[in-house]
Chains A and B, each alone.
Chain A
Amino acid sequence: MKLNLNPAPHVHSRQDTRWLMGNVLIALLPCCVAGVVYFGVPALMLMAVSMASAVLFEALWQKLCGRKLLIADGSAAVTGLILALNLPPRAPWWLAVMGSAFAVVIVKGLFGGLGDNFINPAMAARALLLASWPKFMTAWTAPSGLDAVTSATPLMTPAAWTPLELFLGRIPGCIGETCKLAILAGLAWLLITRTIKWHIPVAMMASLCLFSWIFGKDPVAAALSGGALFGAAFMATDYVTCPVHPAAQMIYAAGAGLVAAVIRSYAGYPEGVTYGILLMNAAAPLLDKCFRRRVYGHGREAAK
Chain B
Amino acid sequence: MTMLKTFRGGVHPLHGDHEGKAQTRGEPTRAIEPKTVTLLMGMHLGAPSEPCVKAGDRVKLGQVVGTPVGFLGLPVHASVSGEVLSVGPVQSVSAPNALAVTIKNDFRDEWAELPAPLGSVEDCPADQIVPAIRAAGICGMGGAAFPTHVKLAVKEGQFCDTIILNGAECETHLTCDHRLMLENSDRVVDGLRAAMRALNVPRGVIAIEDNKPDAIEAMRRAAEGRAGVEVAALHTKYPQGGEKQLIQVVTGREVPSGKLPLDVHVIVMNVGTAAAVAEAVIDGKPLISRITTVTGHVDRPSNLRVRVGTPVRELLEACGGISLPEDRVGKVVMGGAMTGFPCPGLEVPVAKANNGIVVYDAKEARETEETPCIRCGRCVDACPMGLNPYLLKHLCDAGDMARAQKECVMDCIVCGSCSYICPAHRHLTQTFKAMKDAIAAEAKKGKG
What is A's interface to B at a CB cutoff of 8 Å? 1, 3-13, 15-17, 19-20, 70, 73, 75, 113-116, 239-240, 243-245, 288, 292-298, 300, 302-303
Contact = CB atoms under 8 A, between A and B. Distances in A.
19 contacts: A3-B342, A4-B365, A5-B342, A11-B172, A13-B11, A13-B13, A17-B374, A20-B374, A70-B372, A73-B371, A115-B374, A115-B375, A239-B375, A239-B377, A245-B377, A294-B386, A296-B244, A297-B244, A303-B264
A10 B366 CA distance: 9
Interface in B237-266: 244, 248, 251-259, 263-265
Interface stretch (B100-108, B116-124, B211-219, B330-338): B330-338
B376 A8 contact: no
Contacts of A13: 11, 13, 420-423
A227 B264 CA distance: 53
B259 A297 contact: yes
A8 B338 contact: yes
Interface residues on B, range: 35 or more
B341 A297 contact: no
A244 B377 contact: yes
Interface stretch (B40-48, B195-203, B282-290, B424-432): B424-432
Contacts of A15: 421, 423
A109 to B, nearest CB: 12
A182 to B, nearest CB: 24
B317 to A, nearest CB: 14
B345 interface: yes
Contacts of B331: 3-6, 10
Interface of B is mostly: loop
B387 interface: yes
Pairs of residues from A and B, 7 with the lowest C-beta to C-beta distance, nearest first: A244-B377, A303-B253, A9-B416, A4-B331, A297-B257, A115-B372, A239-B376
Interface of B: 8, 11, 13-14, 172, 244, 248, 251-259, 263-265, 326, 329-333, 335, 337-346, 358, 360, 362, 364-368, 371-377, 380, 384-388, 390, 408, 411, 416, 419-425, 429-430, 433
A82 B338 CA distance: 37
Contacts of B387: 295
A252 to B, nearest CB: 12
A179 to B, nearest CB: 27
A15 B251 CA distance: 34
Contacts of B390: 244
Contacts of A113: 372
Given A4-B365, A15-B423, A303 B374 contact: no
Most chain B beta-carbon contacts within 10 A, residue among A9, A116, A239 = A9
Contact of A9 (B252, B343, B373, B419): B419
A13 B340 CA distance: 17
Contacts of A9: 13, 337-339, 416, 419-420, 429
B264 A8 contact: no
B14 A11 contact: yes
B374 A75 contact: yes
A12 B364 CA distance: 9
B401 to A, nearest CB: 18
Nearest to A18: B423
Given A239-B374, A240-B375, 10 more contacts: A3-B332, A4-B365, A8-B335, A9-B416, A16-B423, A114-B374, A239-B377, A245-B377, A295-B386, A302-B264
B339 A302 contact: no
Contact of A240 (B172, B374, B380): B374
Contacts of B421: 13, 15
A294 B333 CA distance: 34
The DSSP consensus for interface residues of chain A is loop
Contact of A295 (B329, B332, B411, B433): B411
Nearest to B360: A10
Contact of A298 (B411, B420, B429, B433): B411
A293 B332 contact: no
Contacts of A17: 371, 374, 423-424
Contacts of A297: 244, 254-259, 385, 411
A4 B330 contact: yes
Contacts, number: 169
A226 to B, nearest CB: 27
B367 A295 contact: no
A8 B248 CA distance: 25
Contacts of B258: 297
Contacts of B388: 244, 288, 292
Contacts of B344: 3, 5
A245 B244 CA distance: 22
A10 B424 contact: no
A8 B380 CA distance: 19
Contacts of B368: 12
A297 B411 CA distance: 8
B236 to A, nearest CB: 16
A293 B385 CA distance: 9
A4 B359 CA distance: 11
B367 A4 contact: yes
Contacts of A288: 388
B441 to A, nearest CB: 18
Contact of A296 (B248, B375, B420, B422): B248
A19 B371 CA distance: 13
Contacts of B335: 8
B411 to A, nearest CB: 6
Contacts of A292: 388
B16 to A, nearest CB: 10
A245 B423 CA distance: 17
Contacts of A243: 377
B408 A298 contact: yes
B392 to A, nearest CB: 11
Contact of B385 (A10, A75, A295): A295
A302 B256 contact: yes
Nearest to B358: A10
A204 B239 CA distance: 34
B253 A302 contact: yes
B343 A296 contact: no
Given A297-B257, A298-B257, A302-B259, A1 B326 contact: yes
A116 B374 CA distance: 8
A107 to B, nearest CB: 15
Contacts of B360: 4, 10
Contacts of A10: 331, 333, 337-338, 340, 342, 358, 360, 364-365
